[in-house]
Amino acid sequence: MSTEVRKGSLRKGTLPFLLACWKLNLAGAMEFRLSFFMTAGMMFLNNVIWIVFWGIFFTRFPSVNGWGINDVMLMWAVGTGGFGWASMLFGNFSRIASITARGELDVYLTQPKPVLLNVLASRMSLTAIGDFLFGLAIFVYAGELSPGGVLRFMLGLLLAGLIFLFFNVAAGSLAFFIGNAEGIAFQLFNGHLAFTTYPTDIFKGAVRLILFTVIPAGFISYMPIGLLRGWQGDYLLLAIGAAAMIAAGSIGLFYWGLRRYSSGNMMTMRS
């Protein structure tokens, strides 16, 4: 009975709510179409410049610890694609610290929807659309377009997006405990994002350990080797387990911190 109730709640409440949020976010973005296309296009171009840089690098050094230009391109494909879909659908994940510190959670607390889901889905990142399209384009250019290759890439996008999403939810939730955590959340966001754009195997020792624990960027940047080249069971289990643990931990941390939240007495309308 409880399972049926949960399925009914998802179908009749949560899913229609998410679809409505995404529809409104897209409609708001398309209201200024020139700005929309320019913003997404500039992010696409920015990523292309990085690929050109790596191409120049690999003309001088054909292999770096077993990584070639194709591996780096696929690393960028899965990283930008995963970050892109997470930011398109749940664009507030990088702003939780500022929303909390400014008392802007009040408007979400008054609505009969799951607070965290409501916060995350209420914004769409325009630049992320360029990231997502770039990831798809690079995979079409450099990836394995067989059914198995496409399936592995889709799984990689899902895992990368979930890790990006929930790691930053955890970082933003620090604001509940230390007050204004915008600075540290921003640094963690940038650090995590930056480390996903470099081959994992160039890092050794303590730094490599950090990339698979404290700042779990290694699970994303290793995907060209551990997943896209072929199924590596050990890596796949670790990546799925890490994504699940980060998700559960960040959700728990957010709602634990929410108990400590003091109203900002915000009299505002949700935009």
pLDDT digits (tens, 9 = 90+) for 65-117: 889 999 999 999 999 999 999 999 999 999 999 999 888 898 899 888 889 99
The predicted structure's pLDDT at residue 148: 94
Look at phi and psi of residue 124 and say left if phi exceeds 0, alpha if psi is from -120 to 50, else beta: beta
pLDDT tens string 190-205 = 999 999 999 999 999 9
**Rounded distance, CA 105 to CA 258, Å?**
9
The predicted structure's pLDDT at residue 129: 92
**Rounded distance, CA 131 to CA 76, Å?**
10
Entry pTM: 0.90
Contacts of 184 (CB under 8 A, 6+ apart): 97, 171, 174, 178
**Rounded distance, CA 57 to CA 64, Å?**
10
pLDDT at 22 exceeding the cut of 60: yes
Average pLDDT over residues 125-146: 94
Asked which of 87-91, 116-120, 122-126, 152-156 is least confident by mean pLDDT, the reply is 122-126
CB 261 within 8 A of CB 177: no
pLDDT at 2 exceeding the cut of 80: no
CB 168 within 8 A of CB 93: yes
**Rounded distance, CA 80 to CA 49, Å?**
14
Where does the pLDDT of residue 8 fall: very low under 50, low under 70, confident under 90, or very high at 90 and above?
very low
